[in-house]
Amino acid sequence: MMFFGDLPSPASIFSTYATIAGSVMMIKPMAQIIPQQVQNYIVSRIKSLFGCRSSTLTLIINDMNGTGTNGMRTINELYSAFQDYLSSNISPDASKLKMTRDPKNKKVNLYLSEGEVVSDIYQGVELKISYVAGRKKSTDVEDGEEDEFTINSECLLLSFDKKHRDLVLNSYVPYVESKAKVINDERRILKMHSYSSLSRYWESVNFEHPSTFDTLAMNEELKRSVLGDLDRFIKRKNFYKRVGKAWKRGYLLYGPPGTGKSSLVAAIANYLKFDIYDLQLASVKGDADLRRMLLTTRNSSILVVEDIDCSVDLPTRLQPAPKTRGAPKGSAPLTLSGLLNCIDGLWSSCGNERIIIFTTNNKERLDPALLRPGRMDMHIYMGHCGFDGFKTLAANYLGLSHDNDDTHHLYPEIKHLIDGQVLTPAQVAEELMKNEDADAALEGLVRVLKRKRSETEKCDDESMKKIKKLVEGEMRV
């Protein structure tokens, strides 16, 4: 039995109330400066202490994978798929969104911003997805030295009832990926990527090169051969898996400057809808750095090494790299074997649907190891402009028909003059651009072709005279 004498006095009650109220008034302004993520964590810990376990499961989808101490970061394609999917499901009630403009069709695309939440219903299950962004420090250890740098970090939070975990992982996630692929194909923006040694990441710009196989000044038979090879490559995913080969294809483009090697690379990218990664070997510090760079490239992409014969001198086992004064102790330079392992060895299997393209003006200067079958599967000679290439350029620049050999009265003469190594496609295009009138432009081209052939024949005659003199001199001896 409790007596009234055991109850606290009114003064004690008011004193305790004042203390609690004062504490609340002090904590309230402090709570406003604490990040929401920290508040959520504190609340969840308090609930766990009192036995209040939440029935909600939250999955974190980071924008990058593998952010370890070595700084190696690979793109999380699941994050990209959810971003594309969410961009078409944003609520009209959203108050803050990120906006970009599609340069291809000038359409505005909207993406989640910090604090915005998208609700989705899948097979009767409610899911909530929110976006979180931040910055964090990371370190890269190379040649025994640590280098600290700041990286941007983004993630999506996918929340749902725990009892639907299997449905979400096994059905909803594949559904989002399939929808994202359709959305991405419809508004696909090709990118040109170049590696930044400062950020240790591929930086990109929109790739809007207009070159296509229709506009390419190239021998028609060779063009059909390249298109057929690309089509077979794209359709043979199961074939490559069955025979135990990495799903990749290598092309060597060689020929004089101005013959359309870069234009062919652009045409392949536009035809396949593949991004381009421009690899500058001169900026690669070593084999480890090259592996790190290639591991962060996306699937369905083209890796291009232009002018490989003059990009960098790659040391081999027979010709080791010269020692450089002041080089860090234990540093390993980029080697030919390191490059070959990345394009044909075990490292080449770390990705699917990849195309590797080397270009060179001098094929004979390349190490034979680079040309071995299985590394460069198709060697494509980009030579001087033939009549097929000329007709394509005349259609592009002058609007003339490409179908007939007698479209213009000067075509028969041009067909005769252009045969052989006379002008490159770039030189022909330069002549056709000088006048918008077809007659005047073609007449100018005929004059240039005649002059070039005359110069070539004169050089040939002089060469023959020198050879004849040498032979006659040897006969006298």
The average confidence (pLDDT) of the chain is: 79
**pLDDT recorded at residue 268:** 97
Sign of CA dihedral 385, 388, 394, 395: negative
**pLDDT recorded at residue 347:** 58
Query: What whole-number distance in Å separates Cα of residue 461 and Cα of residue 333?
Result: 49
Residue 11: which pLDDT band, with cuts at 50, 70 and 90?
low
DSSP letter assigned to residue 324 = P
**pLDDT recorded at residue 163:** 93
| Cβ neighbours of residue 396 closer than 8 Å, sequence gap 6 or more | 215, 429
**Per-residue pLDDT tens for 75-124?**
788 988 898 888 777 777 777 777 877 665 567 777 777 777 888 999 99
At residue 327, does pLDDT exceed 50? Answer: no
**pLDDT recorded at residue 295:** 82
**Per-residue pLDDT tens for 144-198?**
444 454 445 788 899 999 999 999 999 999 999 999 888 877 777 788 999 887 7
Q: Specify which residues 64 forms β-bridges with.
A: 75
**pLDDT recorded at residue 221:** 93
At residue 6, does pLDDT exceed 70? Answer: no
Q: Return the exposure string of 85-113: e unless at least 16 CB atoms fall within 10 Å of the residue's CB, then b.
A: bbbeeeeeeeeeeeeeeeeeeeeebeebe
Nearest one of 438, 433, 381 to 408, comparing CA atoms: 438
Whether the CB-CB separation of 227 and 216 falls below 8 Å is answered with no
Quickly count: other Cβ atoms within 10 Å of residue 277's Cβ.
24
Phi-psi region for residue 296, left (φ > 0), alpha (ψ -120 to 50) or beta? alpha
Task: State what percent of residues in the chain have pLDDT above 90.
Answer: 36
Query: What whole-number distance in Å separates Cα of residue 170 and Cα of residue 242?
Result: 25
Rounded average pLDDT over 406-423 = 91
At residue 140, does pLDDT exceed 50? Answer: no
DSSP letter assigned to residue 474 = H
At residue 338, does pLDDT exceed 50? Answer: yes
**pLDDT recorded at residue 29:** 64
Sign of CA dihedral 315, 319, 323, 328: positive
At residue 317, does pLDDT exceed 90? Answer: no
Helices and strands in the chain: count of H runs, count of E runs: 15, 15
Nearest one of 464, 449, 380, 452 to 416, comparing CA atoms: 449
Residue at 408: amino acid letter = H
| Cβ neighbours of residue 13 closer than 8 Å, sequence gap 6 or more | none
Tokens representing 327 are: 């080089």
**pLDDT recorded at residue 159:** 93
Query: What whole-number distance in Å separates Cα of residue 429 and Cα of residue 423?
Result: 10
**Per-residue pLDDT tens for 264-295?**
999 999 999 999 999 988 888 888 888 888 88
Q: Indicate the range of 39-43, 126-130, 415-419 predicted with least confidence.
A: 39-43
Residue 388: which pLDDT band, with cuts at 50, 70 and 90?
very high
Domains assigned to the chain:
56-189 (no CATH), 206-316+332-381 (3.40.50.300), 387-476 (no CATH)
Nearest one of 371, 389, 148, 424 to 250, comparing CA atoms: 371
Whether the CB-CB separation of 457 and 467 falls below 8 Å is answered with no
DSSP letter assigned to residue 9 = P
Q: Indicate the range of 90-99, 322-331, 438-447 predicted with least confidence.
A: 322-331
Tokens representing 270 are: 């536009």
Q: Specify which residues 348 forms β-bridges with.
A: none
SS3 262: helix
Query: Does this model's pTM top 0.95?
Result: no
Residue at 268: amino acid letter = I
